[in-house]
Every structure is written in C-alpha cells, then in structure tokens.
Amino acid sequence: MSADDMSHAERIKAAIDFKEPDRVPMFDSMTWSVNMAGKNLGLIGQKVKDVSFPKWIHNPDIFVESQIKALDRFDHDFVHSRMSSHILTEAMGCREEEPYWDVPATINTAINRVEDWKTLKFPNMDKDGKIPTQLTAIRMLDKELHEKRGDDVFITGFVRGAFTLAVIVLGVERFMFSMIDKPDETRELIDFCNDVSIECIKAQIDAGADHIYTPDPRASAALISAKFYHDFALPAAQKQSAAIRKYKDKYAHHYHICGDTRARWDDLAKIGASYVSLDYMINLKEAKENIGKKTAIAGNMSPAGTLLLGTPGMVEEEGKQMIRDAAVGGGYIYWAGCDLPIDCPIENVDKFFEVPKVYGKYPIEI
Amino acid sequence: MTAKDVILNGLADAVVEGDEGKCVEFANEALENNIDAYEAVIKGCAHGMRIVSDKYEKREMFVLEILLAARAMQGAVDVLRPYVKAEEIKVTGKVAIAVVLGDIHDIGKNIVKLLLETSGLIVFDLGRDVLPEALQDKVRAENVDLVALSALMTTSMMEMKEDVKLLKGEFPNVKIIVGGAPVSQEFCDSIGADGYADNASEAIRVSQKLISGEGGKKCQQMI
C-alpha cells in the first residue's frame, strides 16, 4: 500500500490493531501549535508574541484556526484541544496561573486533608474553569474538520489521569503520606477524581472528540514505586480507560506516563488503553519487544535535547531510529517523548513531521 | 557489635524504613545509654538518609520513601536536638535553592533540598518562580557557596542562562548547579554552570564536590 492511501483515522486504527497502515501515524503538535496562531510563527525564540498563551486558550476562534493551520502544514493524524495543564483542577477549587508564554499551571491545592475530598466541588462541565472553552474548541474542530471537510482526523480531548488529578488537588507531599497513613480515604479521593474526569471525558466525546489523552505524570517512577503504582494508580487508570472505551470505542484512549516506566510495563499493558506513550529515556526497541507486544506504543523523541536544542539533522536521525525500532508490524504511533517544547524551532518541527512521510512508509525499509 | 552500634544501626534502619515510632524509640534509647546526641544524629539519622539517597539512585526507593524517611528522621532529631552541644556542630556549606523564573514545578527542588539538608548543608529555599534578583540578594546577604537551580519546563530552562550570567557576573566564586527534566550536561556546559545532576542523589554528590573544592568550606554533617 502506498503512503497516503489511508485516511487519518484508518491509519491510526490499523496501527492500534497491530496492522501495518500505509505509513506510520503521527500524534499532533499539542501546545507547540500556539506558534501557528496569528503572526507567532515569525516570532519563535523572541520574548514578545503576537498571540500570547492566555489569549490563545481563551479565544476558541484563534485556537481552532491555529490547530487547523498546524494540521494543514504537518499533516499529522491528530489535532489537539488542551487548554491547561490540568483542565479540571481549577474547576475543582484550585487556583491557576496563566503565564504569558506557557501552559497554565495549578498553583495551590483544593484541600489540605485527604478526608476533605467530600468537600471538593464536582465541576459543572458547561460553566467551570476552562472546560467550556475546551469543549467549544472541540465542537468547532468537529464542525470544521469532520463535518465540513469530511476529514476523519482524530480530535484529541484531554484530562489528567485520575491519580495525577488527586495528587494535584491534595498536594504531592500530603498525598504521598496519605497513601501510607490513610489508604482508604486516598482511594476515595482518587475515585472521586476519576468520576469527575469521566464526566469531563464524556462531555468532550459528546462535543466531537475521537479520543482522549490522559497523561498521568504524578504516577511516574520518579515519584512512586511500581508497587504503589499497582495498588493506587493502576486501578484508577483501568477504570478511566474502560469508561473512555465504553463511551466511545477501542481506539479512544491514549495513556501517557513520564519517566523510566520499565518496572511497570506489565501494569501499563493491563490498563486497556488503545496505546501507551513512553518518555524519551526509554529505548523504543526494548519497549517494542516487551510492552509493545501487548499494547500499541507511541513515542519518543527527546523533547529538549533534540527537538528544542538539536538540529533538523538530529531530528531526522532520531526519528528514523524510532521508526526502525518500533514501527514494523504496526502497533506504533510516532511522537515526542512528551509534549513538544513550545519554543522548538520551526525547522525542527517541520523535519519531525516530515520523517514518517519519508521513512515511515510500510513496509518499513530503513 | 556493641550496644551502641546496635542502637545507632537500629536508628539508621528505622530511618530507611520510614518508621517514625521506631526512630523516636531508638533516639530515646540512645539518650538512656549515654550515647552522644550529635553522634546519634550523624551516625544514626544522617547515615540512614544516605542509605535512602543511595537506594533512590538505584531506583530501589522513590520520592514517597524519601518523604517517609525524612519524616521518621525528624521524629528522632526532635528527641535528640535539646541534648546536642552547640560547639559540636561543624561549620557547613551554604546553599540557595530555587525553581527558576516562570516555573512553579517544585517537587524535584523540594527533594533535593531535603537531601541537601540531611547531608549537612544550610539550605535557603527561595521557592519557585524566583526572580534572578532574589537569588542575587540571597547570595549577597548569606554569603552562599552554592546556588542550585531547577527547571521542569523547556521554556523556564532558558531562564537558567540569565541566572548564571547575572550570578557569575557579581559572584564569580559562587558555584552553580542545575537540574530538572529537560536539563542536560550539554545544556549545563553551554550556559556556563558548574555542575549538573540528573537525579536528586547525584545532586547531593555534585553539590558537596563543588562546595568542598576550590577553597570552599568543607561540607560537614549537621542537624
């Protein structure tokens, strides 16, 4: 099959089903796409922008236009809709800071004791925080791309993994001690966060999202052991994943976890996610031969070392190696190890999305 | 093994296990057996934290276990502190630690701070999203030996370059260590920082090396 014989969705679904599509599917440019807003593209690396990050996320017209410009330029197989680091924390009572040129970040906790989870607000998805804006953006993307263009590109919705959401609303240190001192209440908090996240997921799917990206960075190996992942984070991820797939379909869930995940690959494969994306320090060949046999995987170019600070030549070499290591037999989606740094030079981003079109055609012969 | 060794090892093991109750018990036992309180802190508590730090580096322990160990150790230190003679406490190095401007992710910084403190350094925590001028003021006011900078975001990482330029301009002898997910040895070298560590345990080793070298105050254990 020659490249571009398949539509975006056909390509993604084939890869998730461990079939070889026409070419390696590509995840989207995520928050980097803010550079496609207004005149930002000519201002990469400069302090003053035409469209600031807050302006971008509070104006769905500008936001959606930039996502479509990114899609048209790079032809990745997904488009993104994320409005914040933890879209639900603000709506649950935390405060968010909105930097001029970065993703909004949560700056305080909503509760100080784990047992206070009962006082947490269950957000109204149509009113609270930035959720309504994210839903509007998804509806607009759905209309422009799915309806008007007939393009089945995957619109990506976003919430955090429930474990991570629970850590943010309670605070890292308090949460860590709570797992030891008050495990039952900790599980109740995680479960409440999961219920909130699932409600938000359903709202995004109703708005037109094809799949949901649920990064779970506070469950990473830097913070908790494989045992605590198994006891606390895995059940939450499984519940969230099952809810996503039940409400949409088996292609609808992208789970991401940061750091060195090798010790918990067996558990990651049990989540049930459509695919699991891996951080840059993971050897993709090793991943392909282990977790990659049980679930589709995505990743994992070095975001800072290669995409931000490297050259197009370095991007090309690492991209080729990723395809060489993980693409044969399908079950692989091309992406960075984590979000693309927003100051990546355009030459590197162009090269990043060019590599699968040149070297990622099936059968893989590089 | 002497009774003293049993108590000090027990205290260290209790720190490693993160068992606060046991730590307090061993601390009281140390006092009852006339073990010097400062020695109990150094050879019991701090030794236990060093084991924790090593296990963290080998991925046998994680942030959760470090926090538990620190809480347990604090329980013992609270018991022992009133009995430590002031003249026993050695001169230490001084560190100013901060998450750079534009970044509010402080989990890593807090862990490094904790291990720096338990390794015997006086640590001034400037918090997160810290202005370069605040770093300058602290170095000047406290005669700091080492500045430790953390960044999780690729955007804020670039602030490190400004911080290094400003600090080295005014305090050429102050050492600077950088760390955080996007930071690398190459980046450290490119901005003229003195040291880089890719994990908290390594950060402690590099910090001690930077402080003890080139006429800096030799790093000693402290409470």
CB-nearest to A102 from B110, B153, B186 is: B153
Residue B52: pLDDT over 50 = yes
Q: Which residues of B touch A263 (CB under 8 A)?
A: 59
Q: Is B216 a residue whose pLDDT tops 50?
A: no
- Cβ within 8 Å, pair A304-B62: no
**pLDDT in the model for residue A110:** 97
What's the structural domain count of chain A?
A: 1
pLDDT higher than threshold 50 for residue B215: no
Mutation pick from A176, A218, A261, A314 vs chain B, by most beta carbons of B within 10 Å, is: A176
Tell me the CATH number of domain B94-212, given options 3.90.1150.10, 1.10.760.10, 3.40.50.280, 3.40.50.1820.
3.40.50.280
In a domain, A82, yes or no: yes
The answer to whether the CB atoms of B154 and A173 lie below 8 A apart is no
CA-nearest residue of chain B to A106? Answer: B104
Q: The domain that contains A113 carries what CATH number?
A: 3.20.20.210
Listed residue (A338, A340, A330) closest to A24, CA to CA: A330
CA–CA gap between residue B159 and residue B170 (Å, rounded): 17
* Residue of A308, A311, A340, A348 for testing the chain B interface, max B β-carbons within 10 Å: A308
Residue B65 with chain A: CB contacts under 8 Å: 225
Amino acid B14: pLDDT:
97
Triad A181, B152, A241: Cα angle to 5°? 60
Q: What is the pLDDT of residue A3?
A: 52
- For residue A332, being part of any structural domain is answered with yes
Domain boundaries, chain B: 3-88, 94-212
Contact B122, B92 (CB under 8 A): yes
Q: What CATH number should be reported for the domain whose range is B3-88?
A: 1.10.1240.10
Q: What tokens were used for B140?
A: 């000047």
Instruction: Report DSSP state, residue A146.
Output: I
Position B218 confidence tier, pLDDT thresholds 50, 70, 90:
very low
Least confident of A193-202, A295-304, B11-20, B214-223: B214-223
Quick check: B223 pLDDT over 60?
no
**A366 in any annotated domain:** no
- On the question of pLDDT at B143 being above 60, the answer is yes
Q: What confidence score (pLDDT) does residue B119 get?
A: 80
Question: What are the pLDDT tens digits along chain A (366 aa)?
Answer: 445 689 999 999 999 999 999 999 999 999 999 999 999 999 999 999 999 999 999 999 999 999 999 999 999 999 999 999 889 999 999 999 999 999 999 999 999 999 999 999 999 999 999 999 999 999 999 999 999 999 999 999 999 999 999 999 999 999 999 999 999 999 999 999 999 999 999 999 999 999 999 999 999 988 899 999 999 999 999 999 999 999 999 999 999 998 889 999 999 999 999 999 999 999 999 999 999 999 999 999 999 999 999 999 999 999 999 999 999 999 999 999 988 999 999 999 999 999 999 999 999 998
Tell me which residue in A177, A258, A304 faces B154 most closely, judged by beta carbons: A304
Interchain CB distance below 8 Å, B65 and A225 = yes
User: How is residue B136 written in tokens?
Assistant: 């300058």
CA distance B62 to chain A (A): 5
What is the model's pLDDT at position B147? Answer: 97
- A176·B59 Cβ contact <8 A: no
Any alpha helices (H) in chain A, and if so which ranges?
8-16, 53-58, 60-74, 131-141, 162-170, 172-181, 183-207, 226-228, 234-247, 265-270, 284-289, 312-326, 346-359
Binning pLDDT at 50, 70 and 90, where does residue B221 land?
very low
| B contacts of A107 (beta carbons < 8 Å) | 104
A-B CB pairs within 8 A amount to 70
Comparing B3-88 with B94-212, is the CATH topology the same? no
Residue B110 with chain A: CB contacts under 8 Å: 173
User: Residue A114 in contact with residue A186, Cβ under 8 Å?
Assistant: yes
Q: Which residues of B touch A (CB under 8 A)?
A: 18, 59, 61-65, 67-68, 71, 102, 104-105, 107-108, 110, 153-158, 181-184, 186-187
Distance between B36 CA and the closest CA of chain A, angstroms:
31
Q: Which of A107, A172, A308 sits opposite B104 (nearest CB)?
A: A107
Within a domain: residue A2? no
Average pLDDT over residues B196-221: 73
Interface predicted TM-score (ipTM) of this complex, two decimals: 0.80
Instruction: Say whether pLDDT at B38 is over 90.
Output: no
Cβ neighbours of A279 in B, within 8 Å: none
- Closest Cα of chain B to A225: distance in Å? 6
Residue range of the domain that includes A180: 8-359
